Structure 1
Amino acid sequence: MNRLPPHHLARVGAITLTLGLSPAFLWAGSPHLPQPWRQEAVVDGRDETYNTERFLHLLTFRHSEALPGPTDNGIRGTGGSVSSRRLYLDFRFRQDFGFNHDHQGFLLDIQRSEDLDGTYQRQLVGFRHNLTDNTELWLQGDVFSDKAQSDVYFSARHYLDRDHWIHASWILPDAYFNSKTDSGDEFIREPQSFFVQWHLGTEATAPAAGTLVSINVSPPSEFSSRTENLVVESKSLNAAVRHSRATENWLWQVEISGELTRRHYQLGGETLAGRADFERDHVKFAASVSDSHRRFQPRLGLYYLSLEEDGFFGRALNDVGTVSRREPTLYTDLTLPLSARTTLSPGVYLSKPDIDEHYLRNRGRQENGFIGKLTLPFKTVLSAQDGAVLTLNPTFYLHKFGFGGGNLQLHWPM
């Protein structure tokens, strides 16, 4: 099979990007990337309760460019203020440095992001070997100076066609923990995670179109933390399906993703002790349609989020509670050329969240009113040849007078 080298694919994608195709939905903590079991997630959990506008912020700060996507080489980063003391950041630099006529490659994948259990960082380094023209084997590691924290990834990818492949990973989180730690903590049942992905692209001239299906599974594991005075059993499943279709005049995009997490704690201590469970059910749906052939490239989108959490949230909050959030959002935007390399894409986001949160020790929240934001992203093409785009996106609240947070993005296919 004659596959295009990665840098050629990126160059073709960059040309298309500068023509103004609408972006795919690229979320933080994306299930389109392997999301292995994390010790800090099950022990500490997130260290904050979300404010009313939290998920509206994440929607308006999401990646605004189609390339590079989760399966591509390059830099994609977005960051923005979600509160007076919190910065949301989703950054990734991935590169496959091929050598020996691209039969082997050095893999580098640096990630800083967050999910519903808090922030995380990964620095994956590894090696790719082409077993045949159609099949690759990958070995990667998230390596730390403390050997007990290192993760090991075993992966394989099989190409059915140039842009049609199946990828699978077996991940051993904290692979050497029991034999290397000096903390007194230990695994009673060691964790492992599995990631499976199916990718079906279209012609290289339309990289925004195609189908991507991803599944992350972490089977039951059990961890004993003497430092935090708890034992936790945990399992999780998250998955996503994304489909984009380009017709003569329209680009249609749909994505559905979901997470199911179950944890069972045995807590010791003076404040909270005894048996405590935790359940999370999380679903997101997003759809948009845009017409890039019209002068102002109008787009209309719908987004819906459902989050149900109940139980013990981890030692960071050290609290028991329930969270119920249902947030439908309608948005629209268009693109106004300002110069040969700069555009302004004003957008309006209107949401009516239904929020009901109760905690044992923290303040609860009940909301059922309209919220909204005006976004004014200025996009500058740094390199038309490479498809590098820098975006400065100031936002403003519509439901109250005030600045809604600044957002900076960089997308650079490589």
Structure 2
Amino acid sequence: MSGLYRHTNLMTACLGLTLATATVADTAHVPQPWRADAVVMGRDETYDKERFLHELTFRHRLATPGVTDDGIRGTAGSVSSDRLYYDFRFRQDFGFREGRNGFLLDIQRSEDLDGAYDRQLIGFRQNLGDHSEIWLQGDVFSDKSEADVYFSARHHLTDDSWIHASWILPDAYFNDKTDTQDAFEDKPQTFFLQWHRQGAGDMGGTTLSLSLSPESRFISRQEDLTVDNESLRAALTHRQHQGDWLLELHLEGERTRRKYQLQGDDGNRPAGFDRDHLKALGSATLTSHRLTPTIGLAYVRLDENGFFGRALDDEGDIRRREPTLFGEFSVQAAPSTVISPGLYLSAPDIRQSFEQEKDLRHSGFLGKLALPIDIQLSASDNAVLTINPTFYLHTAGFGGGNLQLHWPL
């Protein structure tokens, strides 16, 4: 009986490795304040045809720790010979005084459509009664002009749900502390609102998030431009058990508008930039079957046109429509190791052109085979390391390696 009990525990632990295999990066569920490097420099690469297929195959495989949980959550994968896609977060609420207070640490390294970013948020939490709390956090640098300040409040509606609001002041002391000639004419601010409800078990729940950055104006004399920026980002993630099925739906979108006035070698000319982005993913996992098969559908829609920032220093027009059908199943290779072969079949329609770069046109099949190996590092903590080699199907070549670590705390 004791052997059977241990075997059952191992099977349960390994099953936990394979659930929620469609989990995405969840960056839209983290506050995304205005960033100077985003609006002035922008991203420094023109995406190739496989870029979003890479992100899909390198997405987070585990639901825990989630975006609202403490723990380590990281994925990194090669998207070209010299580019790495990554999304890493270490979040911990160090509670004290019986949980009435907390020291908050939130380290983030990730990227969005404007490029890579790093944040090291530190702060404190103070409970107000039994159901509410206030947070004060900062993204602090040795250059005081670059510090962001976060004022937040959270109210617990029930034992399983809460609403969280943040008012963020990016580069809060910039005009007073900078040693450059750059300046804000209209200071940026970002409002973040999030509602979360925990569902049954670790895998269930709903999270709805919204980040709004109203119009601001930044004058960069170092880069010879003035930029007005406004953006809106929203995301919805829902997971639930329905009979023998684990169902997941993830939606996120972005609307960004910028107006540039370019000086220097550009003379003195206006240039706009518009971005509309939509990402959708749905999946179903049959948890009662020993192979826990998953089937899902993902879709990316991206429209960008105008001046992309000083990093590319170019104007372009991008239109991408990328539906992808994917599926996988899981096989227990050892008591603490699961292999989950996955197939990704995409039919993107891509129209991408820049003034100084080669045009990209693609309409047709792209595909990848992924062979993620989930290794349980700690059964008690549900800590999992994933090694995920992938292979192209449309060119019969290596499609990039991926490493993940998920460690709830």
Q: TM-score, normalised by structure 1?
A: 0.94
Give the counterpart letter for 1:25 in structure 2: T
The CA distance in 2 between the partners of 1:111 and 1:19, in whole Å, is: 24
Find 1:348's aligned residue among 337, 343, 347. Answer: 343
Q: Please list the CA deviations of residues 183-205 of structure 1 after superposition, one character each: whole Å capped at 9, or x if unmatched.
A: 100000000000000011123xx
> How many residues were matched structurally?
398
Go from structure 1 to structure 2 and tell me whether the alpha carbon gap of 1:334 and 1:17 turns closer, same or farther (over 3 Å shift): closer
Give the counterpart letter for 1:107 in structure 2: L
Go from structure 1 to structure 2 and tell me whether the alpha carbon gap of 1:23 and 1:346 turns closer, same or farther (over 3 Å shift): closer
* Contact kept in structure 2, 1:22 and 1:292, CA below 8 Å: no
The CA distance in 2 between the partners of 1:157 and 1:24, in whole Å, is: 28
Give the counterpart letter for 2:299 in structure 1: Y
Question: Would you say 1:45 and 2:77 are equivalent positions?
Answer: no
Q: Please list the CA deviations of residues 212-262 of structure 1 after superposition, one character each: whole Å capped at 9, or x if unmatched.
A: 110000000000000000000000000011111202200111111100000
Q: Please list the CA deviations of residues 316-373 of structure 1 after superposition, one character each: whole Å capped at 9, or x if unmatched.
A: 0000110000000000000000111001000000001100011111111110010000
Give the counterpart letter for 2:257 in structure 1: R
The CA distance in 1 between the partners of 2:88 and 2:240, in whole Å, is: 26
Question: What are structure 2's unaligned runs of at least 5 residues?
Answer: 1-11
Paired residue for 1:128?
Answer: 125
Find 2:69's aligned residue among 68, 72, 75. Answer: 72
Give the counterpart letter for 2:241 in structure 1: A
Question: Would you say 1:270 and 2:268 are equivalent positions?
Answer: no
Go from structure 1 to structure 2 and tell me whether the alpha carbon gap of 1:272 and 1:113 turns closer, same or farther (over 3 Å shift): farther
Give the counterpart letter for 1:301 in structure 2: G
Identity of aligned residues (%): 58
CA RMSD of aligned residues (A): 1.3
User: Which runs of at least 4 in structure 1 moved beyond 6 Å after TM superposition?
Assistant: 14-17
* Contact kept in structure 1, 2:373 and 2:386, CA below 8 Å: yes
Paired residue for 2:295?
Answer: 300
Task: Report 1:282-361 matches (<5 A).
Answer: 282-361=277-356
* Contact kept in structure 2, 1:15 and 1:385, CA below 8 Å: no
SS in 2 for 1:110: strand
Paired residue for 2:16?
Answer: 18
* Contact kept in structure 2, 1:178 and 1:186, CA below 8 Å: yes
Q: Please list the CA deviations of residues 133-156 of structure 1 after superposition, one character each: whole Å capped at 9, or x if unmatched.
A: 100100000000000000000000
The CA distance in 2 between the partners of 1:380 and 1:268, in whole Å, is: 54
SS in 2 for 1:328: strand
The CA distance in 1 between the partners of 2:250 and 2:394, in whole Å, is: 28
Paired residue for 2:4?
Answer: none
* Contact kept in structure 1, 2:14 and 2:337, CA below 8 Å: no
Paired residue for 1:393?
Answer: 388
Return the offset for 1:207.
2.0
Give the counterpart letter for 2:16 in structure 1: T
The CA distance in 2 between the partners of 1:315 and 1:188, in whole Å, is: 20
* Contact kept in structure 2, 1:24 and 1:208, CA below 8 Å: no
SS in 2 for 1:31: helix
